[in-house]
Amino acid sequence: MTLAQQQRIQVVAHRGASQDAPEHTLAAYKKAIEDGADALECDVRLTADGHLVCVHDRRINRTSNGRGAVSTLDLSELTALDFGSWKGLDERPEWTGSAADTSVLTLERLLELVTDAGRRVELAIETKHPTRWAGQVEERLLLLLKRFGLDAPAPDEPSRVRVMSFSARSLSRVQEASPTLPTVYLLQFVSPRHREGRLPKGVHIAAPSIRIVRNHPAYVAKLARAGHQIHVWTVDEPEDVDLCASLGVDAIITNRPAAVLRRLGRT
C-alpha cells in the first residue's frame, strides 16, 4: 500500500483517546481531537429520565465510583459521580484530569465538542440499550442529531455521523427514520449468512473486529468486492495497524489515535 493510500485510512478514536484518558470522558475526546483523530467513536445509553450518555457497560461499576445500571439512574445521579479517577488508580498512575472533564458525558455535550472543533471531526455512535428500551435509544438519538443539523448529510457532502450496532434491528430503525444516515454493522464473529460479504439490508459499512481480520484476512476482500466499506475495531498494536493498511481497510478504530496516525505516516 502506498503512503497516499495509508493516509486515506480514517483514524477513529475508540471512546476517545482512551489509552491516555478515561474512556468516554470529555478529557478523552479533547485529547483525541488534539491528537488529530479523524473521527470519534462513542457508545450511547439511555438514562432513566431519558438522556443519552456515553457509557459502554450496562452498569457503571467499572468506570465510576458508583454502582447500578445506567437505565435505572437519572442524569443528576450520574452527574454526581466520578468517571475519571479509576483510570489513574488502575491503568495510568501518572494520569490526572479535572473533575469537569471526567464527569459523565452526555451525547449532547459531545456533539457540541465536535461542532466546535474548528475542523471536520466525524462521529461514530454505537447504540446500546436493554430490550425494554426498544426503539427509544434510536428515537432520542435521531432527535438530538436533528437539533444539531447532523441527522442527514448535505447534498454532495459525506455525512459527519454514522450509527453503529451489533443489532440489525437497531440499524433498521435508524434507516427507516433517517434513510440517508450511514449505518455500520458491527461483527464480533462471522456467521454463515455474512460469510460471503453480505450485510443486513441497507447497510454498506462492515465493522469486523481485529480478531476476525487477523484470522480471516480474505474476508476483507469479500466485503470490498460486495461494495462495502470496512472499519476495523479495536486496532492498537503496530502489527495490526500494518495488517489493516495492507488489506486496504477504510477506517481503523483505536484506543491510541496518536500512535496509529504516526504508524500510518500522517504525523
Cβ atoms of residues 32 and 13 within 8 Å: yes
CB 47 within 8 A of CB 27: no
CA distance 33 to 101: 14
- Annotated catalytic, 56? yes
Among residues 24, 56, 129, 231, the one annotated as catalytic is: 56
Among residues 14, 51, 194, 231, the one annotated as catalytic is 14
- Would you tell me the crossing angle of helices 107-115 and 136-147 to the nearest 10 degrees? 30
Give one word for 92, left, alpha or beta, with left for phi > 0 and alpha for psi -120 to 50.
beta
Contact predicate 51/26, CB 8 Å: no
Dihedral (CA of 105, 254, 11, 201) sign: negative
With a CB cutoff of 8 Å and minimum separation 6, the contacts of 66 are 60, 73, 77, 78, 81
- Cα gap 256→184, rounded to integer Å: 21
**Backbone torsion region of residue 118, taken as left when φ is above 0, otherwise alpha when ψ lies between -120 and 50, otherwise beta:** left
> Are 60 and 70 in contact, with CB atoms under 8 Å apart?
yes
CA angle (17 as vertex; 240, 219 as ends), nearest 5:
30
Catalytic positions: 14, 56
